[in-house]
A and B are shown apart, each in its own frame.
Chain A
Amino acid sequence: MAQFNSKNQSSRVSRRWFTDIDINMTLHPQSGDLTLKYDINAVKRSVKNLLQTNLYERPFKPSLGINLRGMLFELSTTTTDQVVLEQDIISLINNYEPRANVTDVIANQSGNSIDITMFFTISNSPLPQQLDIALQRVR
């Protein structure tokens, strides 16, 4: 793992509220350090991770996640199902991502794809944020 002991890196990090590693494990082209994600990007990545995690996928945390991928192979959902899905997403974020305050979730299922648009704010920033996730089966 790269070392995070350069003065520049430290000073850059100290101004941030949230810092996370990049899941792609890419290195900084100049310093060779592991690239990081900060603040809004870190939270968005976290929310994305939660939505892309299936129930029972994480060891010893069976209730973490939501079965979005499994729904791609279900029959077309009714309006009621979509409302339930939106509520599930809100519950998931409220339970596992305390930094995000969800204001609205819109889930559309068409064919074998699910489009999710989530509106939220970050606890230390009043600016509204939007996250779009599109899941589509590839086979």
Chain B
Amino acid sequence: MATINSSNINITDLDFDDVSTSLKEYLKGQSTLKDYDFEGSNLSILVDLLAYSAHTSAFNANMVASEMFLDTAQIRKNVVSRAKELGYTPSSRTAAKATFDLTVNNPTVGGQTPSSLTINRGHEFTTVFDGSSFTFISLENKTITPTTGTFVFNDLTINQGKLTSDIYRYSSQVSNQRFPMLNTNIDTSTININVTSNNIVTSWTKAGDLTGIKSSSKVYYLQENDEGLFEVYFGDGVIGASPKDGDEISISYLVTDNLHANGANVFSMATSINGNSDVTFTNTISASAGKDIETTDQIKFSASKFYTSQNRLVTVQDYKAKLQELYPGADSIAVWGGEDNTPPAYGKVYVALKPSQFSNNLTTAEKNGLKKSLSALSVLTVRPEIIDAEILQILLSTSFKYDPTKTSQTKSALETLVRASILSYDNSELSGFDTLFRHSQLTSKIDGTETSLLSNITNVKLRKNKIATIDGRASSLTLDFGNSLYNPHSGHNSMGGGVITSTGFFISGDVNNYFFDDDGTGNIRRYYLDGSTRVYSDNAAGTIIYSTGVVSINSLTYSSTSNTDSSIDFTTIPSSNDVISTKNQLLDITASEISVTGVADTVASGETSAGVGYTTSSSYSS
């Protein structure tokens, strides 16, 4: 027999065909068996069998290796297990929650006005949203007493779903005992665990940082098991207390629906409060934050971020990762250091969180809760501040040309379509923090609205709304547009009022209706109108920094404003048509301020020859 050269075998080939070819190459080194290359031969069957076996083994080895690492694991239970090694627990489904003030009208208990009213955990409300009925419940027991004879449950938060509970008996004979919650739609943030031992009921809380857990700490641990169910387990008597034999473990939690009722804002009460059903809902904040269980891809992303932050808040990414954990389903999060704030506030970290597409701001209770959680993990000298989002309105004025010979649409119908395109751009591109209004993208979208549209000129203005304090005391105003303002040269448009305009306001002890403008050299001026003439009362009422877009108004005692909500609108012209949302700003194309004008193009339609009489729109805002 001829010597077989084993180096002919390429052991890195793992595909069936490659392994088969390698084996045949190997067999070429001998002369006893010659039929290895004929598909019907017995030897070929053996070669195929070997190749198949090698391929299957290689595939299995590849699968096993893939499942061993967080980046490459595909099976959920393995992804969860890899994430657990990093100390990360996947978040469950999150129930949508809504907030409102609930006034109970003329309540009576036993024929008399009660001294207090109580809403218990599990109190039901209903809503109909998108044609489906949903149940919401209150998760807290809340008792109120009347304020000036009115019974109001302020900031009452309700969550979508219904309460359910699982009851277990603890046994130390069972090693590694786990207590699964037998519902896949659980919201784990609502888990309430009571352990009854010798007829004494104690409430156990979720374990947090290991450093705070003692052998007597009544805490439970949470994890997702192989079947995709969340389960709790308890300490071993060293890291957390262990229940005793025979203790009854009652796990109560919220089970939410398959569909999230995000956006629902009309509620009714399903059960009465101490027999009273006449209630009024006010200040309703739409249901939001309902989201599905974390997917494997989301777990991979979040777990690595969580591990990087080491449960400490140092960098911006640490804050963002922790906020995603503390407020799952947040629509958008912005974090910036106090040194970048206007005015600078060293030693602070500012956080703005947009809960959902239906609401821009957190409730006071949510802000307090988040601040407390963040403070516990932040660097000692750094204090987190949760602030509301500010809306930077983008005012658009569009003039487009169209070829009337290429469309059956009327001018007004085209204008409606263009307006819809602008709103579509607003909804799809400007929904969160860190977004950019790209002028050319919008104008392209407008041109693409209909085949007859030839071109458009779209001018951009910015507006911010600032609440003036009207309490008889002087106060200053500062607003930051976050974008540089149009000031091509010092003194630009000084006679015409610069680039700032404002809505009217009154100051204490003065009958004139005042406004603000600027002189193009960095000064804000206060004036009133005498007919159409501006009469300046203060040529140094404040300052404006054109390069940063920061406007500061000196102290004034406001008595009222033209706006009914005590606010003043400041409108300006940016230096760039592209607008960035900085810090806590949310960009919004104000629908009511969109101006769209269509003009039939006389060159395209053939009415104008050689461009005679053709008119164009100005590319500059006035």
Binding site for B on A (CB under 8 A): 3-5, 9-10, 13-14, 16-23, 36-37, 42, 45-50, 53, 58-61, 64, 96-99
Contact = CB atoms under 8 A, between A and B. Distances in A.
Interface residues of B, number: 20
A46 B35 CA distance: 9
A14 B1 CA distance: 10
Interface string B19-52: 0000000000011111100111111011010001
B1 A20 contact: no
B33 A19 contact: yes
A93 to B, nearest CB: 8
A52 B31 CA distance: 28
A23 B52 contact: no
B220 interface: no
A48 B46 CA distance: 16
B34 A18 contact: yes
B124 to A, nearest CB: 58
A18 to B, nearest CB: 5
Contacts of A5: 1
Report which residue of A22, A45, A46, A61 has the largest number of chain B beta carbons within 10 angstroms of its beta carbon: A46
B39 A18 contact: no
B17 interface: yes
B41 A42 contact: yes
Contacts of A10: 1, 31-32
B42 A13 contact: no
7 contacts: A3-B1, A4-B1, A21-B33, A37-B42, A42-B41, A96-B39, A97-B38
Nearest to A37: B42
B35 A42 contact: yes
Contacts of A23: 42, 45
A23 to B, nearest CB: 4
A46 B40 contact: yes
A21 to B, nearest CB: 5
B32 to A, nearest CB: 4
B307 interface: no
Q: Find the residue from A17, A53, A59 having the highest chain B CB count within 10 A.
A: A59
A60 B35 contact: no
B47 to A, nearest CB: 11
Contact of B42 (A22, A53, A64): A22
A13 B39 contact: no
Contacts of A16: 34
Residue of A9, A14, A60 most packed against chain B (CB within 10 A): A60
A131 B35 CA distance: 19
B16 interface: yes
B48 A59 contact: yes
A117 to B, nearest CB: 18
A47 to B, nearest CB: 6
A14 B48 contact: no
B31 A14 contact: yes
B17 A60 contact: yes
A20 B31 contact: no
A99 B34 contact: no
B39 A21 contact: no
Nearest to B36: A20
Given A16-B34, A20-B41, 7 more contacts: A9-B32, A17-B34, A20-B34, A36-B32, A37-B42, A45-B42, A61-B39
Given A20-B33, A49-B45, A98 B38 contact: yes
Contacts of A61: 39, 48
A45 B42 CA distance: 8
B40 A47 contact: yes
Given A19-B32, A19-B34, A58 B48 contact: yes
A125 B473 CA distance: 117
Nearest to B32: A4
A96 B45 CA distance: 13
A42 to B, nearest CB: 6
A60 B16 contact: yes
Given A10-B1, A58-B48, A59-B48, A20 B43 contact: yes
The 9 A-B residue pairs whose C-beta atoms are closest, nearest first, are: A46-B40, A4-B32, A50-B40, A20-B35, A96-B39, A60-B16, A23-B42, A49-B40, A59-B52
A49 B184 CA distance: 53
A36 B34 CA distance: 11
Interface string B420-442: 00000000000000000000000
A59 B46 CA distance: 12
A120 to B, nearest CB: 13
A17 B33 CA distance: 10
A46 B38 contact: yes
A59 B1 contact: no
A23 B46 CA distance: 10
Contacts of B39: 50, 61, 64, 96-97
Interface in B481-519: none
A17 B449 CA distance: 76
Nearest to A13: B32
Nearest to A49: B40
Interface centre among A4, A20, A22, A64 (most CB of B within 10 A): A20
A49 B41 contact: yes
B35 A18 contact: yes
Nearest to A52: B40
A49 B42 contact: yes
Contacts of A21: 33, 42-43, 46
